[in-house]
Structure 1
């Protein structure tokens, strides 16, 4: 589901690239959420539970 992700702490922006090639930028994501995502066994599962539908986003 998720090919890669990166976090800009200064902007609190989580950049997610999906295996489909689509990119989304999730805004105002706390750093603690991203750290938890990095530790998660299933990045896609974590994303679905804790990021998707909780934070505003822009399509890249």
Structure 2
């Protein structure tokens, strides 16, 4: 999965796999998480949001099944 660096104090980079609807998020802490069943629209809104961290807390964390990953 290709990751895109983002301008955020919380998130370093994000990536999305359309086929599996999986969103990957690499945090500035170095930890990475995968979020399953994320619609493409949510990923697109996430990329365009004014605050990546706020969007993530309000629309992704605790909204989709997730698990830690190694990168």
Normalised to the residue count of structure 2, the TM-score between the two structures is 0.83
Greater length-normalized contact order (CA 8 Å, ≥ 6 residues apart): 1
Structure with the largest fraction of helix? 1
State the aligned residue count.
60
RMSD of the TM alignment (CA)? 0.5
Poorly superposed stretches of 4+, deviation over 4 Å: none
- Mark the runs of 5 or more structure 1 residues left unpaired by the alignment: none
Provide the residue aligned with 2:5 in structure 1.
none
- Mark the runs of 5 or more structure 2 residues left unpaired by the alignment: 1-9
SS in 1 for 2:57: helix
Normalised to the residue count of structure 1, the TM-score between the two structures is 0.97
